[in-house]
Structure 1
């Protein structure tokens, strides 16, 4: 069975949502362990997590904007 373009967009959107969830959890773990990290490493890791979270949320939203689960 051939997957349509819409099916691929839905799968990509669902994967992006899962990635966003993992990044959200990582952000809170990162914030909870501030005292044992160097400040420079903390700031860089938070910035990377926030940028990746924003990208995955935007891509997931674009891919799933017309998706309505049955």
Structure 2
């Protein structure tokens, strides 16, 4: 497990993600929008990225009870 937690995770799902002590894979999340038929130019061209949500904002804090919500 220590080996898995040391390097950043870079795969199809997570770019520069990391595994926290509690085992959660924390990585940036993306707000996507489905393209209109006119916007889609090639096969599998269905989404456009609207914004990036940093990992620190996308996941709950590691400390239990730290989330103000």
Normalised by the length of structure 1, the TM-score is 0.26
More strand per residue: 1 or 2?
A: 2
TM-score of the two chains, using structure 2 as the length reference? 0.26
Higher relative contact order (Cα pairs below 8 Å, separated by 6+ residues)? 1
Judging by fraction of residues, say which structure has more helix: 1
